[in-house]
Amino acid sequence: MKVLVLTSEPVSASQLREALPGGVEPEQTEVMVVAPALQPNSLKFWLSDADSAITRADEVRRETIENLGESGVPATGDTGESDPVRALEDALTTFPAERILLFTHADDAQGYREDLDVAELKSRFGIPVEQATVGGSAA
């Protein structure tokens, strides 16, 4: 199964296992990790203060790929646009995912533009979309 993972925090193989449908082991998947360059708030977004967001997204991408690789999960990745939907669109042009897994912060800790509508994404992309919560703050 080809799985596109969109995450704003590093993800482990056990977190991936919990988010996958029953019976699918992470080692049986091909994963592409996309870490969008999210801003903590709209002011930073509109002032185009993107450097720290890009640096953080790159760290999340690298750490997630490393975590998954150490557990035997084949994974590649990219740093995505600050708009998570656009980041998904871009990734899907080169990675024909069969499922999208969104790892986002809890509602009270979400970064700017991290409040994604799962039903809208399912309709837009025509593949299953699941959402899981990751720890840490969005800043």
- 60-84 confidence digits (pLDDT tens): 999 999 999 999 999 999 998 888 9
Domain assignment present for residue 20? The answer is: no
Give me the half-sphere count of Cα atoms (radius 13 Å) on the Cβ side of residue 122.
Answer: 7
pTM metric for this prediction: 0.85
Q: How many domains does the chain have?
A: 1
Q: Going residue by residue through the chain, which has 139 residues, state the pLDDT in tens, using 9 for 90 and above.
A: 999 999 989 999 999 999 998 888 888 899 999 999 886 545 454 455 667 788 889 999 999 999 999 999 999 999 988 889 999 999 999 999 999 999 986 654 444 455 788 999 999 999 999 999 886 544 4
User: What pLDDT was estimated at residue 113?
Assistant: 52
The domain spanning residue 104 has which CATH number? 3.40.50.620
Instruction: Report d(CA 119, CA 33) in Å as an integer.
Output: 21
Q: DSSP letters of 33-87? A: EEEE--BSSHHHHHTT--HHHHHHHHHHHHHHHHHHHHTT--EEEEEE-SSHHHH
Cα–Cα separations (whole angstroms), residue 92 to 34, 61, 71, 99, 115: 10, 17, 25, 11, 20
139 in any annotated domain: no
> For position 109, what pLDDT does the model report?
46
Distance of CA 71 to the CA centre of its chain: 18
The encoded tokens of residue 86 equal: 């656009």
Structural domain boundaries, residue 98: 2-15+28-133
